[in-house]
Chain A
Amino acid sequence: MHAFNYQHPKSVADAAAALSKGGDAKLLAGGQSLVAAMKLRLAAPTDLIDLSGIKELAGIKVEGAGITIGAMTRHAEVARSEEVRAKIPALAGLAGGIGDRMVRNMGTLGGSLAHNDPVADYPAAVLGLNATVNTNKRKIAADDFFKGMFETALQTGEIIVSVSFPVPKRAAYIKFRNPASRYAIVGVLAAETGSGVRVAVTGAASSVFRVAAMEKALAAKWSPDAVAGISVPSAGLNSDMHASAEYRAHLVTVMARRAVEAAK
């Protein structure tokens, strides 16, 4: 790891100001991707702006028909939150299945979304549950947030403050883990939400995506059989030593079927 300046602001405004001061500054949330990259010398920011001291980024609140979760909320907190478990068990379950115990105790919702790793779990939750990403500047709909591999709609100086999840009628997330890294080779979140059926897939491609054909079939009939015959094209899917694009495409159907079954 190379040397860097450490900053510990107490407000989102101070963090945004520090971020705009030039240099290669990076926000530090849970550090589960960034610090690992720094240790391997793959990332060498001049400044780390630690968000852990900012109160307005913390906490889980039930608001109307939804739950708003602060960006610095750790995966483990989401997993064990009584409110989340009661209202959106699929989200609590997803958070409880991220990485390992250390990752869950350190990693954060905001950090995961801003990083937008193609194999991360949270993007499937945000897209599949039609959540809204609240930043220090605006509200971004899930469908507009994820732009590609490690790319989001966030602009320079923009910081995720919280994410608002509407409570779905039913939802489930099923993941096929990479045997080595335990990241998602394919993770599918299937949900029936107030704004329609959504099927979001992570791990399979360069970024999280929805499967329109499955959503349509499930809207007509919520049943595992409805998606069993629907496959996504393998062209454009990720392909590596752990899973070819063909295998991933197959797993999307299997995981979708199992997610629908689990969300009965």
Chain B
Amino acid sequence: MGDMNTIGVSVKRKEDYRFLTGAGNYTDDVTLPHQSYACFVRSPHAHAKIKGIKKDKALRAPGVLAIYTGEDWAAAKVGGLPCGWLITDVHGQPMKEPLHPCLAQGKANHVGDQIAVVIAETYNQARDAAELVEVDYAVLPAVVDVASALKQGAPQIHEAAPGNTCYVWALGDKGATDKAFASAAHVTKLEFINNRLVPNAIEPRAVNASYARHDESYTLYVANQNPHVERLLMTAFVLGLPEQKVRVIAPDVGGGFGSKIYLYAEDVVLTWASKRVNRPIKWTAERSESFVSDAHGRDHATTAELALDKDGKFLALRVHTKAAMGAYLSTFGSCVPTILYATLLAGQYTTPAIYAEVTAVFTNTVPVDAYRGAGRPEATYVVERLVETAAREMKIDPAEIRRRNFIKTFPYQTPVALQYDIGDYEATLAEAMKLADVAGFPARRAEAAKRGKKRGLGYSCYIEACGIAPSAVAGALGARAGLFEAGEIRVHPTGKVTVFTGSHSHGQGHETTFAQVVASRLGIPVDDVDVVHGDTGRVLFGMGTYGSRSLAVGGTAIVKALDKVVNKGKKIAAHLLEASDTDIEFKDGQFKVAGTDKAVPFGSVALTAYVPHNYPHDKLEPGLNEQAFYDPSNFTFPAGSHICEVEIDPDTGITRIVNFTAVDDFGNIVNPMIVEGQVHGGLTQGIGQALTEACVYDKESGQLLTGSYLDYCMPRADDVPSYKVGTKVTACTHNPLGVKGCGEAGAIGAPPALINAITDALGIREIEMPATPERVWRAANKKA
């Protein structure tokens, strides 16, 4: 039975057959009896007073069932959307939380802000009628970037947030940091923008909400990464519905990258309206709607300085960041540029003093929230751009300067709150340098120069904090929710197993990875294990999937439940084998009396639990079904080294990535193929940020100029190379699987590696992301 252990084996994904044959079941695939459809009227203006809304013409249009506006919303006395993380500012005051209405209350604050909803028999009828809703706008001046929003006299977005400021927050020892700078042999300073990104999951957001009069319950199908959190936020904070009366189902979900974590207005409005019209209502975003209504990512303006001694030892790091919140606080918008950003500024290094100050700013743009990496890509960009630039300025090899500063003993307490449990940064760097053939780079550069091309090499040694999070720590930092995970193992009488997990797979392959964990522990085939997720009606509870937490936290909850199953199984086996509980050991699917050949297989124990004719009824309940909740004791700290090699055509400014190497330490690995896929996807998204993806708002009008794929450039297969990936393992010390998480690493590590390579190729200090052909051409030809 030993071959049932598939940990470390690239088992083909169980879910792929249905995805590849079109049998996936996404929210838009769900059509209910008496289905109706919604279309949202959205603001065409970035900032405008709503003087009046006339809906009579639209109400007379064919098929229209109802139209609701902000007035109806206010009259029904329903609340605004909550923010899930309270940040306390430098003066000990709570952050400013202006109303985040589900339907605009007299004012539109970004292009795409929802003004009204039209519900009709068909989607086309709803859309036709939406064009007949007459909204009288008085356009106001708009502000779309953080620097302008903080200026005196800037347009004010919320009365509750004077100066468009949500909070000014700080972390670290300012005095010690300033002191270190004062005596430093060298200071490297950079100012840059971490560019705003549009998430672009392949499946647009979708909602199908219905109300059942017979038991006064609601069912909400929604493309979402954490259905229990969605339900909790909606029932407790917005609609005031009994939580047990709402079932949230997130069926197959086609990508999230963070953008489907949040409670969105559309979800709430449809749930609320489904009772009013007494019909199921469906809404699926059109792609152009996704651009102006899915929470965006990044959007930081940063000044960062690194102080070094004469040998290139880091003495201190000082960072000032202005972070856009967009027009409203999205569900976790407030914690991304603080808790998930400043705490990562130590990187892989022993920098003794760090101080970071973050100003969160409202702008007339789509709200900003976590997007693959969430704060950690921004932190890594700060650290790794500074380190590489400092090395060049001090004429120290960029790999060598990193080695001189690596953390080498663990656990390591950083000056910015986190305690790293384990890692081996020299090992990942050395392996990456070998795979990338750094030694052969000078020859390749010379050969390229002969062809008139410029080659460059850039490093990035990142760290991330995953497996969020110890609830107590998160709570102390302002989280308004716990961050544990729940799991349930249901062993059926035939010995087959259904796993219920609070994690949610929207591309990560949990149905396979989790099945491997369970099958390996129970000594049964992977095909005997099914994984159920994404349904509050079937799964006991869950905090969902984000921050590369599923295996580390959700997987551990499953392991804890498995331990209970095995313990109960031992008692049943002891009864069957007429031995003592403590003499039973479980291995390779067999319950054995230690030191004998007396054994009973797992399947027999399962059957006995459900057909308890010969059973210790005085000591045990029948059945074999166990649940567990797991709250981690620390974050996990995946880390790695990325090396990017580019070749630039100075005539056109086109950058070709000729080589990209990533060596990561994700702790133990369950399914190497899935991990590699996650790395490839993450790297491609990171390369997208650095090379192609520009989210551009017009400074005057506040219009989103990159509102479709004609202008917003997603990376394509031919933009990226065949990646060279490798892994090194230091097992996480505080979860039983020894795993850390791999989902975001690529998006975190790639941007600075790529920009470091481009600046190396061109012999320049800085280039703005994305490094578009024209920007590169200008830099290569010293044009302003």
A residues within 8 Å of B by Cβ? 1-2, 40-41, 176, 179-181, 183, 241-244, 247, 250-251, 254
Contact = CB atoms under 8 A, between A and B. Distances in A.
Given A180-B711, A181-B711, A242 B652 contact: no
Interface string B108-136: 00000000000000001000100100000
A243 B712 contact: no
Interface residues of B, number: 24
A247 B652 CA distance: 9
Contacts of B576: none
Contacts of B692: 179-180
Interface in B478-530: none
Given A181-B711, A241-B696, A243-B774, A251 B652 contact: yes
12 contacts: A1-B124, A41-B131, A179-B719, A179-B773, A180-B711, A183-B710, A241-B705, A241-B711, A242-B772, A247-B774, A250-B777, A254-B651
B328 to A, nearest CB: 26
A88 to B, nearest CB: 26
Contacts of B131: 41
Nearest to B127: A41
Q: Which 4 pairs from chain A and chain B are nearest by CB?
A: A180-B713, A181-B710, A247-B774, A179-B713
Given A251-B652, A254-B652, A242 B711 contact: yes
A30 to B, nearest CB: 18
B63 to A, nearest CB: 13
A180 B709 contact: yes
A231 to B, nearest CB: 13
Contacts of B772: 179, 242
B706 interface: yes
A242 B774 contact: yes
Nearest to A257: B651
B694 interface: yes
Contacts of B694: 241
Contacts of B714: 180
Interface of B: 124, 128, 131, 288, 651-653, 692, 694, 696, 705-706, 709-714, 719, 772-774, 777-778
Contact of A176 (B652, B710, B712, B719): B652
A107 B711 CA distance: 21
A186 to B, nearest CB: 10
Given A40-B288, A180-B713, A180-B714, 17 more contacts: A1-B124, A2-B128, A41-B131, A176-B652, A179-B692, A179-B773, A180-B709, A181-B711, A183-B710, A241-B694, A241-B705, A241-B706, A243-B774, A244-B774, A247-B774, A251-B652, A254-B651
Contacts of B774: 242-244, 247
Contacts of A243: 773-774
Please report whether the interface of chain A is mostly helix, strand, loop or mixed according to DSSP: loop
A100 B653 CA distance: 23
Contacts of A244: 774
A181 B652 contact: no
B727 to A, nearest CB: 32
A251 B719 CA distance: 20
Nearest to A1: B124
Contacts of B652: 176, 251, 254
Contacts of A1: 124
A244 B709 CA distance: 19
Nearest to A250: B777
A41 B706 CA distance: 19
A41 B131 CA distance: 11
A38 to B, nearest CB: 13
A176 B772 CA distance: 13
Contact of A180 (B288, B712, B778): B712
Contacts of A180: 692, 706, 709-714
Contact of B709 (A181, A247, A254): A181
A180 B710 CA distance: 6
Nearest to B781: A250
Contacts of B124: 1
A248 to B, nearest CB: 9
A123 B712 CA distance: 26
A242 B692 CA distance: 10
A46 to B, nearest CB: 16
A113 to B, nearest CB: 21
A222 B476 CA distance: 74
A256 B404 CA distance: 50
A77 to B, nearest CB: 24
Nearest to B711: A180
Contacts of A40: 288
A1, A181, A247, A254: which has the most chain B beta carbons within 10 Å?
Answer: A247
A244 B710 CA distance: 17
A263 to B, nearest CB: 18
Contacts of B653: 247
Contacts of A242: 711, 772, 774
A244 B714 CA distance: 21
A41 B778 CA distance: 38
Contacts of A179: 692, 713, 719, 772-773
B451 to A, nearest CB: 14
A96 B112 CA distance: 38
A173 to B, nearest CB: 16
A180 B707 CA distance: 12
Contacts of A254: 651-652
B736 to A, nearest CB: 46
Nearest to B698: A241
Nearest to B651: A254
A247 B711 contact: no
A21 to B, nearest CB: 25
B115 to A, nearest CB: 18
A179 to B, nearest CB: 5
B205 to A, nearest CB: 19
A41 B652 CA distance: 36
A176 B714 CA distance: 17
A250 B714 CA distance: 25
A244 B653 CA distance: 13
B469 to A, nearest CB: 37
Contacts of B705: 241
A261 to B, nearest CB: 12
Contacts of A241: 694, 696, 705-706, 711
A160 B779 CA distance: 46
A18 to B, nearest CB: 26
A2 B713 CA distance: 29
A149 to B, nearest CB: 16
A32 to B, nearest CB: 13
A262 B168 CA distance: 58
Contacts of B651: 254
Contacts of A176: 652, 773
A180, A242, A247: which has the most chain B beta carbons within 10 Å?
Answer: A180
A231 B196 CA distance: 35
A180 B714 CA distance: 7
A183 B710 CA distance: 9
A97 to B, nearest CB: 13
A252 to B, nearest CB: 12
A35 to B, nearest CB: 15
A254 B773 CA distance: 14
B288, B705, B710: which has the most chain A beta carbons within 10 Å?
Answer: B710
A183 B712 CA distance: 13
Nearest to A176: B652
A29 B255 CA distance: 35
Contacts of A41: 131
A66 to B, nearest CB: 33
Nearest to A2: B128
A49 to B, nearest CB: 23
B131, B651, B712: which has the most chain A beta carbons within 10 Å?
Answer: B651
A45 to B, nearest CB: 16
A237 to B, nearest CB: 13
A1 B131 CA distance: 12
Nearest to B709: A180
A250 B774 CA distance: 11
A180 to B, nearest CB: 4
